[in-house]
Amino acid sequence: MTDWLPTLQTATPQEGYELAVKLARVAVKLTLPDAEARERLRPEYAQDAEALIAASQVVATHFATIAAANDYWRDRQ
């Protein structure tokens, strides 16, 4: 895989959240590299509330890490 994550620094919390979602998606692709398998499984977990909550928890964990890396977007003076 190429160097796709040069930094956790983002300009805004929204950009940080979008990066958190990307981190979660990349993790799934690395864990299950077969795109057809991911497509085949998607309808199952899309209807599973526990799986969706778990996915949200992963994104929240990534977002917390990114927020900390960005000093919670406080102005640095």
Q: Indicate whether 17 belongs to any domain.
A: yes
Whether this prediction's pTM lies above 0.85 is answered by yes
- Does 30 map to a domain? yes
Q: What is the share, in percent, of the chain residues with pLDDT greater than 70?
A: 95
Is 63 part of any domain?
yes
Q: Is 34 helix (H, G, I), strand (E, B) or coil?
A: coil
Tell me: pLDDT of 16 over 60.
Answer: yes
Asked if 17 contacts 63 with a C-beta cutoff of 8 angstroms, the reply is: yes
- The tally of domains found in the chain comes to 1
In a domain, 28, yes or no: yes
In this predicted structure, the answer to whether residue 76 has a pLDDT above a threshold of 70 is no
Q: Residue 38: which domain range?
A: 13-69
Nearest alpha carbon to residue 60 among 23, 32, 9, 31: 23
Q: In the predicted model, what is the mean pLDDT of the chain?
A: 93
Looking at the domain assignment, is residue 1 inside a domain?
Answer: no
| Residue 6: inside a domain | no
Q: Is residue 25 in some structural domain?
A: yes
Confidence of residue 2 (pLDDT cuts 50, 70, 90): confident
CB atoms inside a 10 Å sphere around CB 30: 9
